[in-house]
Structure 1
């Protein structure tokens, strides 16, 4: 590899934080990681320039950015933050040789083949089949969804907005939640439940369903109360979260027969991992009627890697630069 391209910069831009790292393109090793609140900068270009100057990386001219919004052309507009930009203009303004911009879950999908065994935990199913499609979803500020298709010796990511399809209630409690959220939002998507704001929405909906008064809590507070078993409502909220997560994960498995595995990423599930085993997560993944036996074969993996978006952006950039 040419000297100029021994290193690159990768970024993972969410609705709350912007993560940056240098990457060695031969080994995909990440270092000089920095995390900034998006609100500290007027634009993504400002945040990237600050990172390069702070870390003395202004000589690096190859950059890959994973960002939490659709990327369907030159104009990029974030879904849950106000940043918007032209890819071409940003590349010109910053004097970059390469600027690769992708949906954040395109990047997470691309990281899947590079995950080490200690960066994922299997939940049921058979061993993953090499060469078969994979799916990934992750709850954080929003709900990201993508697929990954192996093609020859490369991988083709299939980004999408699966977090915004219709959420399908399965029982009386969920029908109540659906009506409760529909009164607020109109359309009820999985993201309305399977995200940080979604945890708060489930909590309030279950309080109404149980006809009890409940103090307003943040997603983090709900999680802490559930983990410490100090709030029955918080525990019920996390159980509902996992049940709904299992259902949508099972839908993704069916959509592309993902015998390569369904991977759960995002910031919420690793923090609430101790509560997964006592939930209906895997049961709801399998509960697909005539195709229950089909889904039972498919493994689920919880991604525990600290920076999957950065790793995936690096994998995609390396594959792109290799032609």
Structure 2
């Protein structure tokens, strides 16, 4: 197979960079490989590593990356990689190099998901053609939307909604807010609704209860909460889901997302068994005079493997179709 028959797609977060080869005729993916971003000084280095280890040619490349994509200069939010889109294309001799925001890709992935890859958490039925929202907690907090155009094509609306102000709703949350403010200054949603946010909630709640504890990783907090051996860890996860519910409900109201609110990212799927007994859905629907609107909107957790890669592939597929139509 020559390079012109496939593309390479990547989903690059603050921690991991996932790569795959995408067949341009069938749009099937293979040769999936995950790299730790910290192991590579630059994006070019990890592209070369994938090329060399998988024995693929790099001609057509499309990547989703965890930061704003609004100019030629890319600066990752939660990692040190910086690059010029034109510079990478030229230095690596690429025929195509598409860069999009990671939650534009997450939004595009929704249309690739099969019913068994979406776990519904409350609400009614999807209204076809209605706007959709997607959010995901991982190294940071990503947010995006997806709208359907009159011709039936879909268009992602990336943004930086993870960096809006976090709004406490009760006395305990005000204590968490004060703790985070004292540590970081401004309190954004990402400071709470992310892997590092889970770690911060744990310390904030320990401070609230006057209980000295050592810091724990998000993975350890989740494990201890699920096992039931640590009541503070369980309280932390429950608080995380309560705040996530409020935030997701706000997204639902922003665009009346009767197409659903979709949760991606690495944190929530690992804690799914605690989500059902949390206040996630109650807080999602707790919207005062607009609670009926929120109650009708379904939420889904995306359980599909490599959803971000699929979203990049879907974006590339649609871009190629649009280019072919114009010719």
- Normalised TM-score (structure 1): 0.97
Match of 1:145 in 2: 143
1:235-246 to 2 correspondences below 5 Å = 235-246=234-245
**1:214-246 CA distances to partner (integer Å, 9 max, x unpaired)?**
222111100000010110000000000000000
Query: Is 2:164 aligned against 1:165?
Result: yes
Query: Equivalent residue of 1:322, what SS?
Result: helix
CA distance in structure 1 between the partners assigned to 2:109 and 2:189 by the alignment: 23
CA distance in structure 1 between the partners assigned to 2:125 and 2:15 by the alignment: 35
How many aligned residue pairs are there? 320
- Normalised TM-score (structure 2): 0.96
CA distance in structure 1 between the partners assigned to 2:238 and 2:269 by the alignment: 15
Match of 1:79 in 2: 77
Query: Equivalent residue of 1:45, what SS?
Result: helix
Deviation, 1:24, is 2.0
CA distance in structure 1 between the partners assigned to 2:25 and 2:223 by the alignment: 40
1:297-308 to 2 correspondences below 5 Å = 297-308=296-307
Match of 1:187 in 2: 186
Match of 2:66 in 1: 68
Q: Which runs of 5+ in 1 are unaligned?
A: none
**8 Å contact from structure 2 (residues 3, 56) kept in 1:** no
**1:55-106 CA distances to partner (integer Å, 9 max, x unpaired)?**
1111x41111000111111000011111100001101111111111011111
The 4+ residue runs of structure 1 with deviation greater than 6 A are none
Match of 1:315 in 2: 314
**8 Å contact from structure 1 (residues 134, 262) kept in 2:** yes
Deviation, 1:6, is 3.4
Match of 2:212 in 1: 213
From 88, 91, 110, the equivalent of 2:89 is 91
**8 Å contact from structure 1 (residues 229, 235) kept in 2:** yes
CA distance in structure 1 between the partners assigned to 2:116 and 2:44 by the alignment: 34
Query: Is 2:183 aligned against 1:178?
Result: no
CA distance in structure 2 between the partners assigned to 1:78 and 1:195 by the alignment: 16
**8 Å contact from structure 1 (residues 28, 311) kept in 2:** no
Q: Which runs of 5+ in 2 are unaligned?
A: 323-327
CA distance in structure 2 between the partners assigned to 1:295 and 1:92 by the alignment: 48
Deviation, 1:4, is 6.0
CA distance in structure 1 between the partners assigned to 2:69 and 2:83 by the alignment: 11
**8 Å contact from structure 1 (residues 25, 314) kept in 2:** no
CA distance in structure 2 between the partners assigned to 1:95 and 1:196 by the alignment: 37
Match of 1:115 in 2: 113
Deviation, 1:204, is 0.3
